[in-house]
Homo-oligomer: A and B are copies of this chain.
Amino acid sequence: MASIITTGELTHVAIGDFHTEAGATLPNVTIAYQAWGNYTGDNLILVEHALTGDSNVAEWWADMLGPGKALDTNTYCIVCTNALGGCKGSTGPSSPDPTGTPWGSRFPALSVRDLVDVEKQFLSTLGITKVHAVLGGSMGGARALEWSLMHPTMLRGALVMAVSARASAWQIGIQTAQIDAIEQDPNWHGGDYYATEAPLRGLAAARRIAHLTYRGELEIDERFGTDPQQGENPLGTHRSSTQRFAVQSYLEHQGLKLTKRFDAGSYVTLTEALNRHDIGRGRGGLNKALGASTVPTMIAGVDTDILYPYHQQEHLSRNLGNLIAMAKISSPVGHDAFLTESRQVDRIIRRFLLLVNQEIEDDRLFLHHKEN
């Protein structure tokens, strides 16, 4: 039996050298993970977190994970690794290289496929060869989708939420604007700032732009409208950065919050991985790649998502080789609804797991029938 620690504690695993899709090598990679629920050998569900998310599913999807919940820890063993390139325990730009110096600018560029491959290598290290299901939203959805294409025989199902078959030019554009905001911070130093002050100002600016793509304009407008920030007057005779609209203060707060929990180098690395997301690369194009998919896959999207508009999930659904279901989350919240609309996401995950289990049962009956 594989040696997986299911107490929910953050655990670090050394998985050896890792070779990236583009041809770089990262020596002595560590992957940090958390897991919950008893592992029985065929009940592992891999949850994939989003860009600045982490392995602590019990926190960011608190309504989903637990006994009797959609990700039922009485039935399943739920595993979530921290993405390679991040800053939550897995190797990233802020990690020391073999000489002890943080990688910084020498950290290689990653693709979504690299994030999947390194996770496969992590599972192999633990002795795990079968995954019941993989699921996630946004960058997590991109990884779930690549999992289903890269290692179809390891999986019985994939749930892909709020993502597309590849980065759109608009996404690359807005994501590059975020990277640029970080690069323009004088503290960035090309990524080699770990011995000096961090580019917090740039990271906050990047997050502010990103947040406006994560949230629907209806939701933000309902909350803030043109209200002034309390005690400030944004309509004075001269513009002033201390006299703000409420939404300005809110977005500055969102930016500041991120700087307290995330590293700018990791933000750039993982944003770049999203720029490189393209399931068609080397597979004869998007639709051929999707058509060749064999893993039972469910697609979900958000009706008001401007970052990954719903037509992108419709495109996935139309072209996937083994689509088992499609679901639309209806919400004013936009992209982030896969994190915030608990009731709808709960139903989606339950339906997905039911369908996957039905498929497994159907296959079993069919094989039994053939054998007789």
Chain A 127-170 interface mask (CB, 8 Å, partner B; 1/0): 00000000000000000000000000000000000000011111
In the complex, whether A15 has a CB less than 8 A from a CB of chain B is no
Which residues does chain B contribute within 8 Å of A224, judged by CB atoms?
169, 172
Max count, chain B CB within 10 A of own CB: residue among A170, A181, A202: A170
Residues of B within 8 A of A251 (CB): 173, 176-177
A211 to B269, CA, bound (A): 24
Interface residues in A212-252 (C-beta closer than 8 Å to B): 212, 215, 217, 220-221, 223-226, 234-239, 241, 245-248, 251
- Find out whether the CB atom of B220 lies under 8 angstroms from the CB atom of A173: yes
Complex contacts, A167 vs chain B, CB 8 Å: 226
How far is B223's CA from A176's CA once the two chains are assembled, in angstroms?
Answer: 17
Q: How many copies does the complex hold?
A: 2
Complexed CA–CA distance, A289 and B241 (Å): 29
Query: A335: which B residues are within 8 A, CB to CB?
Result: none
A223: chain B residues within 8 A (beta carbon): 169
Q: Decide if A177 touches B272 in the complex (CB within 8 Å).
A: no
Contact check, B176 vs A237: say whether CB atoms are below 8 A apart: no
Contact A226–B169 (Cβ < 8 Å): yes
Are B108 and A212 within 8 A (Cβ)? no
Q: Are A205 and B220 in contact (CB under 8 A)?
A: no
Which residues of B sit under 8 angstroms from A20, Cβ to Cβ? Answer: 237
A211 to chain B, nearest CB (A): 8
Does A23 count as interface, using CB distance less than 8 angstroms? yes
A359 CB-CB contact with B under 8 Å: no
Question: Which of chain A's residues 54-110 have a Cβ closer than 8 Å to chain B?
Answer: 105-106, 108-109
Which of A23, A111, A211, A220: most chain B Cβ within 10 A?
A220
Contacts of A309 in B (CB 8 A): 217
The reply to whether B239 and A272 form a contact with Cβ atoms under 8 Å apart is yes
Given A109-B236, A177-B209, A205-B184, is A245 in contact with B22 using a C-beta cutoff of 8 Å?
Answer: no
Q: Is the CB of A237 within 8 A of B177?
A: no
Q: How far is the CA of A307 from the CA of B246 in the complex (A)?
A: 19
| A275 on the B face (CB < 8 A) | yes
Question: Which 4 residue pairs spanning A and B have beta carbons closest together?
Answer: A170-B217, A169-B224, A169-B247, A24-B237
